[in-house]
Amino acid sequence: MSDIADRVKKIVVEHLGVEEDKVTETASFIDDLGADSLDTVELVMAFEEEFGIEIPDDAAETIQTFGDAVKFITEAA
Amino acid sequence: MFDLTGKTALVTGASGGIGAEIARVLHGAGATVALSGTRVAPLEALAAELGGRAHVLVCNLSDPAEVEGLVKRAAEAMGSVDVLVNNAGITKDGLAMRMSDEDWQSVIDVNLTATFRLCRAALRGMMKARWGRIVNISSVVGTTGNGGQVNYAASKAGMVGLSKSLAAEVASRGITVNCVAPGFIETAMTEKLNEAQRGAILGAVPAGRMGSAQEIAAAVLYLASAEAGYVTGATLHVNGGMAMI
């Protein structure tokens, strides 16, 4: 797994308090990992800080799964 | 009770009578305070009076860019913004039929839109800290209405709706959002009233007197405290009984 994916996973695990093996490529933050809408905002904020990037609102809306997040950040970072 | 030691508070409109007293009381409870306002001299004087733990941040809330930067400047000065008191407000009174778009808009911009922007900016740090207190200073006329103040009353009623909605959004993160709604308070503004005007006002207040800035500040201190953690989306009316709502 890439360095970016590791760092994203660490944030998701810490923030949502889920088991690491639940955070799979297709795991949806809301449907599978128990996030509410405010959690998704906080995750995006945490990603922005960790990777020093800006994630605009319209892009944030497309980040539904762990895989989406890694893909977006890999392209943006 | 109501100890704010180690907390940081940003108070807008701190150069005015009520805002200055809010800052004094929060500071007296142990908080580090950021004093925001448009007039430098009274802010500097207040900071000098408070001694340590006070920062002056001059800011014109009718300028969107300055509003956006204010919370950041406060966080840089104090390390965080744990408590936000949106106290700054202006009036541009006049009958609705003769009110210009400018007088409508400028009151909405400063009283309501700047409040929203400051809340939005402050929430980021509060969400991370899992603790925050936002106290918006509304007014009794936001609930009762007042002839000659369609703009002001709309802005103050808007603050209540804003606060309730925001309270629902962030309650799960340990952040509360409440309003304090003053009635007639002794300030530089009310000192200008003549005896007849004062008499008419006091006739409508069961307490038979105007309120003091200290009585508003005490309500703010309560809502800013850890003890008020289960109070959110509320409006605390401090009006001597002139409107029991």
Tens of pLDDT, residue by residue over B107-154, are: 999 999 999 999 999 999 999 999 999 999 999 999 999 999 999 999
Domains and CATH numbers, chain A: 1-76 (1.10.1200.10)
Q: Does A38 touch chain B (CB under 8 A)?
A: yes
CB contact under 8 A, B170 and A38: yes
Q: How far is A75 from chain B (nearest CA, A)?
A: 25
Q: Is residue B84 part of a domain?
A: yes
Average pLDDT over residues A27-39: 95
The CATH number of residue B169's host domain is 3.40.50.720
Q: Does A42 touch chain B (CB under 8 A)?
A: yes
Average pLDDT over residues A48-73: 94
Nearest CA in chain A to B172: A38
CB contact under 8 A, B124 and A45: yes
Dihedral (Cα; B72, B75, B77, B78), 10-degree rounding: 170
pLDDT greater than 80 at residue B189:
no
The residue from B152, B219, B220, B224 that is catalytic is B152
From first CA to last CA, the distance across chain A in angstroms is 17
Q: What contacts 24+ positions apart, CB below 8 Å, involve B241-245? A: B241/B205, B241/B206, B241/B207, B242/B140, B242/B183, B242/B184, B242/B204, B242/B205, B242/B206, B242/B207, B243/B140, B243/B143, B243/B144, B243/B183, B245/B143, B245/B144
Residue B90 labeled ligand binder: no
Percentage of chain B modeled with pLDDT above 70: 100
What does DSSP assign to residue B6?
Answer: T
Residue B165 labeled ligand binder: no
Which of B98 and B201 is assigned the larger pLDDT? Answer: B98
At A1 the pLDDT is: 58
Percentage of chain B modeled with pLDDT above 90: 93
Q: Is residue B3 part of a domain?
A: no
Q: Is residue B1 part of a domain?
A: no
pLDDT greater than 80 at residue A56:
yes
What's the whole-number average pLDDT of chain A? 93
pLDDT greater than 90 at residue B226:
yes
Nearest CA in chain A to B128: A42
pLDDT greater than 70 at residue B58:
yes
What does DSSP assign to residue A9?
Answer: H
Which of B192 and B224 is assigned the larger pLDDT? Answer: B224
Size of interface A-B (CB pairs under 8 A): 11
3-state helix, strand, coil in chain A (%, to 5): 65, 5, 35
Q: How many domains does chain B have?
A: 1
Q: Is residue B245 part of a domain?
A: no
Q: Which residues of A touch B170 (CB under 8 A)?
A: 38
pLDDT greater than 90 at residue A77:
no
At B192 the pLDDT is: 78
pLDDT greater than 90 at residue B77:
yes
pLDDT greater than 80 at residue B19:
yes
Average pLDDT over residues B86-105: 97
Q: Which residues of B touch A38 (CB under 8 A)?
A: 127, 169-170, 172-173
Q: How far is B175 from chain A (nearest CA, A)?
A: 13
CA B3 to CA B31: how far, in whole Å? 8
At B90 the pLDDT is: 95
Q: Give pLDDT tens digits for B158-185.
A: 999 999 999 999 999 999 999 999 999 9
What's the whole-number average pLDDT of chain B? 96
Q: How far is B174 from chain A (nearest CA, A)?
A: 13
ipTM: 0.81
Residue B222 falls in the annotated catalytic set: no
Instruction: Give the range of the structural domain holding residue B141, as residue numbers without chain letter.
Output: 8-238
Q: Is residue B71 part of a domain?
A: yes
CB contact under 8 A, B172 and A45: no
